[in-house]
Amino acid sequence: MKNVVWDPLRKKEVALTPEERVRQWCIGVLRDQMGVPVHMMMSEAGFKLGDKQFRADILVYDRQASPLMVVECKRPEVELTQEVLDQAIRYNMVLNVKYMIITNGTKTFICRKGETGYKFIDSVPDYEQMLG
């Protein structure tokens, strides 16, 4: 039997790939440390940019069901480069979120949208702070 893990967002078992392991770890951090309600998150959220279909690893929604944060998960051996950040920024052309996280499970960067673009932040905001 293949290694599988229960995804609380998709409410089903999914193959436990290295990227999925990072996604499940991140879901736990969002839920347990940042206080994001599970029902306010979606994994593998599909959306369109131009005529291309994309999938965000994790989307966090605000109380009005508008996207608040996008999370891009990579396998642990994938370096978090400008290219990875650019991917999340491209997603944001459609999603228009306040926060972005890129992580490979070893390194994690959190950005907050300001008046002149995204800035890296040092502290991890909780859900209530992100809503404010």
29-52: pLDDT as tens digits: 999 999 999 999 999 888 887 888
Task: Assess contact for 72 and 59: CB atoms under 8 A.
Answer: no
Q: State the DSSP H helix or E strand holding residue 112, giving kind and residue range, or none if neither.
A: strand 108-114
The pLDDT tens digits for 79-93 are 999 998 888 888 888
3-state secondary structure of 117: strand
Per-residue tokens: 10: 């998709």
Domains detected in the chain? 4-131 (3.90.1570.30)
The pTM assigned to this predicted structure is 0.91
Tens place of pLDDT per residue across the chain (132 aa):
579 999 999 999 999 999 999 999 999 999 999 999 999 999 988 888 788 888 899 999 999 999 999 999 999 999 999 998 888 888 888 888 999 999 999 999 999 998 888 899 998 899 999 998
